[in-house]
Every structure is written in C-alpha cells, then in structure tokens.
Amino acid sequence: MQREPISKTRGIYFLRLIGRIAVFIIVIFLYFLEKDAFFIAEGWKFFRTFSPLHLLWGIWMVDMILQLIPVKAHISIGSQKVFESVFRPIKEKVNYQNLRAYIKATTASAYRVMILWVMVTFVLSLLHILGIVTTAGMVLVATFFYVCDLICVLIWCPFRLIMKNKCCTTCRIFNWDHLMMFLPIVSVNSFFSWSLVGLSVSIWLVWELCVFLYPERFWENSNMALRCSECTDKLCTQYCRKLRKQVEKGDQYAKQ
C-alpha cells in the first residue's frame, strides 16, 4: 500500500519541530552548565546584560506577532482562520442555528481545557513560590511546552480527548498555544515572563473575540477552507487521516 506523501506545510512543520527540539536541548545545556544565562528572567534584569535567553525571547515574540497578522509563510489555516483574507464562505445558505450550537459546544470544551491548564499553572506557580522550582526551571518548563505544542499538531494531541475535534485545522483552541506555553511562568514575575504572558494573552483575546464576532470562520460548514476536501495544509496525524478518508468517501457517495 502506497503511503500518502507529506505535504509541504507538514514538512515545514516537522522542520520547525526539529528546530524546537534543538532549542530545548540548548536550554537544557544552559540549565546544567551555564545557570547565569537565566539571570535575565529575574525581575528587571532583562536589560542589564546579554544572554542566549534574549534570542529565545525574540524567537517567541516573533512567533506570536506572526499570529496577529495574516501571512502566507506556510502557517496553518487552523491558526489563520481568524482573518477574513483566508475565509471562504460556502455557496449555500448557512444554518445559523447549527452554527450557534457548534460554537456553544466547542466553547464549552475549550474552557474545560482552560480550567485544566489553570490548574497546571497553579501547581507550577506554587512550586516556584515555595522555591522547589527555580526561575531557570520555569523557563525550562516553558521551553518543554514549546516543543510539546508541535508534537500536538504533528503526532498526537491529548486535548483532542476533551475537544473531540477532527483535526488542528478545525480546532477551537489552535491559537491558545502560546498562552498555554507561557501562562505557567506568570509567577516568575519579571519583564521576561510578563512580556511573554502579556502578548500571549493579547493573541488569546483577539482569537476569542473573533470566535464570537465571526463564528462562521471557525466552522467547516460555513467556511470551505476548513473542509477536508479543500485542505492544502494536510497537517493530519494518523488519526486525522483516517477521519479525512471517511469524510472524502462520504462526499464521493453523496455525489453519485
């Protein structure tokens, strides 16, 4: 049986995953061999001296800024569906009653994930406040979540068990990624942490406002760009591909 070729977007995301793993390994080396590199993550020491962490902070800030503007640099439609420029309305009349029901159901699932993540944040923050996890350890945790983000996209996502979404393209919380990465370091209470948390909260607010102002952009039965048959990203995991094939077969039978 011939294997389905990897799409260009999926290939680029795998390269990004490799890059994130490399960054994580570098941060681990710094954690054990150069603890002074984490100096800038404390208080207002960010502006006192240069550290490799400045580069990491810059990478994270650029990643987040790219989520606030419509770009075509092989960024998943799942992340860009907030923008009108990538919205492809269906030709048929939208069933707004079903659309409201869909948004209501996915929002309920999304905030179950939020409650879970607030609990994770509380535990990590408590460990940091008690001195069990150092500031360097908290940065390491954020970098670990940075890697986990693309593992969720490309390999397996535990939040799908709660969200019940078909794939990342249709995911209700796709752009919650940076908020989930950086919220746990909020207790570090420094310019480094608050700048990251602040921008990630801004991205989350934009996303949530768009969900309620433009819900049709987030539902595949009102936005053609989200349908399996129209998908160009092909970021599908093995689980997603099985679902996509089932949907495509259903579409074929419907046309006959």
The pLDDT assigned to 236 comes to: 74
- Looking at residue 110, the DSSP 8-state letter turns out to be H
Helix (H), strand (E) at residue 203: helix 191-213
When mean pLDDT is compared across 40-49, 99-108, 146-155, 159-168, the lowest value belongs to: 159-168
pLDDT at 4 over 80: no
Q: What angle do CA 79, 221, 256 make, to 5 degrees?
A: 125
**What integer is the mean pLDDT of 124-146?**
97
**What integer is the mean pLDDT of 105-128?**
96
Q: Which residues pair with 223 in a beta bridge?
A: 89
Structure tokens at 146: 């940075």
Structural contact between residues 31 and 93, judged by C-beta atoms closer than 8 angstroms: no
Residues 193-207: pLDDT tens digits? 999 999 999 999 999
CA distance 106 to 112: 10
The pLDDT assigned to 219 comes to: 95
Q: What are phi and psi of 84, to 5 degrees?
A: -65, -30
Structural contact between residues 75 and 200, judged by C-beta atoms closer than 8 angstroms: no
CA distance 66 to 69: 6
Structural contact between residues 161 and 25, judged by C-beta atoms closer than 8 angstroms: no
What DSSP line would sit under 119-164, residue for residue? HHHHHHHHHHHTTSS-HHHHHHHHHHHHHHHHHHHHT--TTHHHH-
**What integer is the mean pLDDT of 227-250?**
66
The pLDDT assigned to 243 comes to: 56
The pLDDT assigned to 255 comes to: 40
Distant-in-sequence, close-in-space partners of 92: CB < 8 Å, separation ≥ 6: none
pTM: 0.89
* Single-letter code of the amino acid located at 244: R
pLDDT at 240 over 60: no
CA distance 69 to 48: 31
pLDDT at 252 over 60: no
**What integer is the mean pLDDT of 43-53?**
94
Ramachandran sector of residue 165 (left: φ over 0; alpha: ψ -120 to 50; beta: rest): beta
Structure tokens at 56: 């990491």
pLDDT at 251 over 50: no
Residues 222-238: pLDDT tens digits? 999 999 888 888 887 65
- How many other C-beta atoms are found inside a 10 Å radius of the C-beta of residue 127? 17
Higher pLDDT, 171 or 254: 171
pLDDT at 70 over 80: yes
Structure tokens at 39: 């100096």
